[in-house]
């Protein structure tokens, strides 16, 4: 994020959702733990507008969370007050990084209004984000396909270790289940604490898959190599988390069943983002995505699910000036 002059104009901030494809190392014996794999996507997104105001006001979607963030970012008594309206929000607790993107969007909006330069890490600290994963921060800053280096001993967000563009032609089919919510907050902390030990051999295998199959497949736009690596990583990590998800790798059984049907019909890279319930599958073209969508959409609706066709987003959040005061 570049420095921005203070302004009294209204600003619009649009922040991308992200998919969490899995962890590199839940064991941590090497000195770093977690290490996340992720992709910024173009939909759903969080879009908000901000103006100066006599007092902090939050309207639209996620107004409660925005009101809390306004207090957090302006509690020094010197930052002024703002009105924020959220026209669109990433679904909460769906595995799409909604909390991180909302916190960063509110934080950068206020910083830009004040003409302050804050890094994504600064904003994450203020918004209390990035405790395990750094992919939400990097998705906000630059978009693309992202791998972070996991948590070390220092109490700061994980460092970025790889960022590259996601292929323009590839599409991602998202499967949303609004009847379920993924684990979050204190429940997430408790769930992580209660997980069994992760075998070092599995962590090593995941790292091997990432370096020698997933990333080269992405770079060469070989979706079979990329997708099969994602599926295998998801199977390993999903089995580890199953004890905290009712004995299944899927938070929503219906999402898992529909994802399996997508694989049967030619999709690859099948899995669940974070704690879900959102599932995903990759295809190599817009035409393949449309074919699968039209083939399965009625069945999805019958089961209370929604299918979205998403692109990888190779740019980060945008900040636009709407008008002069």
**53-75 confidence digits (pLDDT tens):** 999 999 999 999 999 999 988 88
Reference 314, options 209, 205, 173, 166; nearest CA is 166
**pLDDT tens, position by position, 134-189:** 899 999 999 999 999 999 888 778 889 999 999 999 999 999 999 988 776 777 77
CATH number of the domain residue 201 falls in: 3.30.230.120
Assess whether pLDDT exceeds 60 at residue 130: no
Q: Note down the domain range covering 267.
A: 10-323
134 vs 255, residue with greater confidence? 255
Listed range (4-13, 28-37, 92-101, 316-325) with the worst mean pLDDT: 4-13
Coil, strand, or helix at residue 216?
A: helix
2 assigned to some structural domain: no
182 assigned to some structural domain: yes
31 vs 191, residue with greater confidence? 31
3 assigned to some structural domain: no
Buried b (16+ CB within 10 A) or exposed e, 82-94: bbbbbeebbbebb
Note the pLDDT of residue 120. Answer: 65
37 assigned to some structural domain: yes
How many CA within 13 A on the CB side of residue 265? Answer: 19
299 vs 119, residue with greater confidence? 299
165 assigned to some structural domain: yes
Evaluated on CA atoms 198, 200, 201, 206, the torsion sign reads positive
Note the pLDDT of residue 3. Answer: 47
Alpha helices in 115-222 (DSSP H): 120-127, 135-141, 185-193, 200-209, 215-219
Coil, strand, or helix at residue 55?
A: coil
In whole angstroms, give the CA distance from residue 32 to residue 27.
Answer: 9
Assess whether pLDDT exceeds 60 at residue 1: no
4 assigned to some structural domain: no
Average pLDDT score over the chain? 91
Check if the beta carbon of residue 42 is closer than 8 Å to that of residue 313: yes
Assess whether pLDDT exceeds 60 at residue 193: yes
Give the residue-averaged pLDDT of 100-129. Answer: 80
198 assigned to some structural domain: yes
Give the residue-averaged pLDDT of 131-136. Answer: 77
Assess whether pLDDT exceeds 80 at residue 4: no
Domains of the chain: total: 1
1 assigned to some structural domain: no
């Amino acid at each position: 994020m570049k420095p921005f002059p203070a302004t009294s104009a209204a600003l619009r901030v649009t922040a991308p959702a992200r998919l969490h494809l899995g962890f590199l190392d839940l064991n941590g014996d090497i000195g770093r733990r977690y290490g996340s794999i992720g992709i910024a996507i173009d939909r759903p997104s969080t879009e908000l507008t901000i103006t100066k105001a006599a007092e902090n006001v939050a309207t639209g979607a996620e107004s409660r969370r925005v009101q809390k963030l306004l207090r957090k970012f302006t509690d020094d008594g010197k930052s002024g007050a703002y009105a924020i309206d959220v026209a669109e929000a990433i679904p909460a607790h769906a595995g799409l990084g909604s909390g991180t993107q909302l916190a960063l969007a509110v934080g950068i909006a206020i910083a830009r209004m004040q003409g302050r330069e804050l890094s994504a890490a600064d904003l994450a600290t203020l918004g209390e984000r990035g405790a395990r994963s750094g992919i939400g921060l990097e998705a906000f800053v630059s978009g693309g396909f992202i791998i972070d280096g996991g948590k070390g001993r220092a109490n700061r967000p994980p460092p970025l270790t790889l960022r590259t563009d996601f292929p323009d032609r590839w599409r991602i089919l998202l499967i949303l289940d609004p009847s379920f919510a993924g684990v979050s907050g204190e429940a997430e902390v408790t769930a992580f604490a209660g997980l069994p030990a992760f075998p070092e051999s599995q962590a090593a295998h995941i790292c091997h898959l990432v370096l020698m199959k997933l990333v080269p497949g992405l770079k060469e736009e070989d979706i079979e190599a990329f997708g099969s690596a994602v599926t295998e990583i998801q199977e390993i990590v999903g089995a580890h988390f199953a004890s905290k998800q009712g004995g299944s790798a899927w938070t929503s059984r219906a999402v898992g069943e529909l994802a399996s049907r997508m694989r049967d019909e030619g999709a690859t890279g099948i899995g669940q983002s974070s704690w879900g319930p959102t599932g995903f599958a990759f295809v190599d073209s817009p035409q393949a995505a449309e074919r699968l969508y039209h083939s399965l959409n009625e069945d999805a609706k019958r089961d209370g699910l929604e299918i979205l066709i998403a692109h990888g987003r190779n740019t980060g959040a945008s900040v636009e000036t709407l008008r002069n005061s």
